[in-house]
Amino acid sequence: MQKTPRTFKYIDNNAFIGGVKIQQLIEKFKTPLYVLDQKTIEENCQHFMDPLKKNYPNSEVLYAGKANLNIAIAQLINSLGLSLDVSSGGELYTAIKAKVSPEKIYFHGNNKTHEELELALDYGVTVMLDNLQELENIIKLHTSAKLISIIIRLKPEIDAHTHKYIRTGQLDSKFGIDRKQAYEIIKKIVDHPKLKLAGIHSHIGSQIFDKAPFFELIDILVPYIKQIKDEFGIELEVLNCGGGMGIYYSDKDNPLQITEFITDFCLKLKEKCHQEKIALPKLLFEPGRSIVGSAGITLYKVGAIKEIEGIKTYLFVDGGMADNPRPILYQAKHVFGTVIKRNKITKKYSIAGKFCESGDILAENISLEEVNVGDYIIVFATGAYNYSMASNYNRNCRPAMVLVANKKAKVIVKRESYGDLTRLDIEI
């Protein structure tokens, strides 16, 4: 069970990642600081790609860009052989700037604007269709001779056991089309000369540790592919089963063993397709968090320590909810560590951020090696959703991001400045 990046270790009581001393990263790049371990990303990609290559060669892994995306990450993911799923015009533009080819981009979203759809149609990416209005918008906006590939996002009506904010497969989800209502949409696509119905897609949620809902998805979607074949006389080429495989954040988490999960999933899918007498579709998965989450750490400086006698001790850091909103949004837990190990004495701390919200608490009453003002701490498993959900709350600057590999560190996102904060402001 992976609790830290692959290359993270202590040498002579000093923390290292990617062969780089973390204290040196702090001295050069300051804090707060996002750090990604390239080797962890590479190995996590292989954990999906290797068993798929062995058990289901007609497959594709799509990195879910919403987890963490910038030009460098898109380039790295592309170089490792993955495709990319994006969920906004900004994510799509980032993929285009990273020179990811259109056939490797899949565009999600439940309310794509006309401007976003125009960008997608012009570049020629596959559109993951969410509703009838979106289809009507595509038909209206698509004026070229280019054939646009469409995959319909269906509601599988599966209630995955995860936080209610990150469930996406249940009937009342804002995402996707009710299976009973999809036939009108399918007919419109099939009858349109410039649109191609490539396949179907479903996503059941995030941070899932149970195989059962994924296997249930097969039992729902494969018969539906058969129904479409019988009704419209077409063999769908693609079955996109989403992502959502959970990662380790704390001792309460028990992630799936990916190789075993993929192997079992492929076996069940092949058996179900044989049972329904349909050709094996191309299989797509969309891991995001499970690719990049464990690869990331965030570094903070301790600015003050406030002890409330008999109640708790606050440890104030120079970041918080604006660069890691997951604790306040989802009551998320993280493992913490120190950059330098000085002694084995531990104390209970509540890690509090610097933002003007009482809920800006990264951890409550956790055990941590005793620290002093000016020391630095590490938050593990922050590679997913921390940067992508970061804000400028209280007009604070968002942190820099560094990629480490082979004893070298490279800035892939610059630290924002006060000038960046006011760059788009207009004086009156």
Kindly list the averaged pLDDT for each block of 10 residues, start to end, along the chain of length 428: 87 97 98 98 97 98 98 98 98 98 97 98 97 96 95 79 41 72 92 96 89 91 94 95 92 92 97 97 97 98 96 97 95 95 91 97 96 97 97 98 97 98 96
Whole-number pLDDT of residue 167: 40
For residues 180, 186, 188 and 189, what is the CA-based torsion angle, rounded to 10 degrees? 160
> Does residue 325 contact residue 312 with C-beta atoms inside 8 Å?
no
CA distance 46 to 151: 26
Whole-number pLDDT of residue 173: 64
- Residues in contact with 137: Cβ distance below 8 Å, sequence separation at least 6, in sequence order: 112, 114, 117
The two structure tokens encoding residue 30: 């300051």
Known catalytic membership, residue 356: yes
- Single out the catalytic residue among 45, 241, 273, 356: 356
CA atoms within 13 A on the CB side of 231: 13
Whole-number pLDDT of residue 163: 36
For residues 70, 104, 190 and 187, what is the CA-based torsion angle, rounded to 10 degrees? -40
What is the widest separation between alpha-carbon atoms in the chain?
73
Measured CA distances, 393 to 303, 315, 318, 326 (Å): 19, 20, 13, 15
> Does residue 377 contact residue 371 with C-beta atoms inside 8 Å?
yes
Whole-number pLDDT of residue 169: 41
Phi and psi (nearest 5°) for 233?
Answer: 70, 30
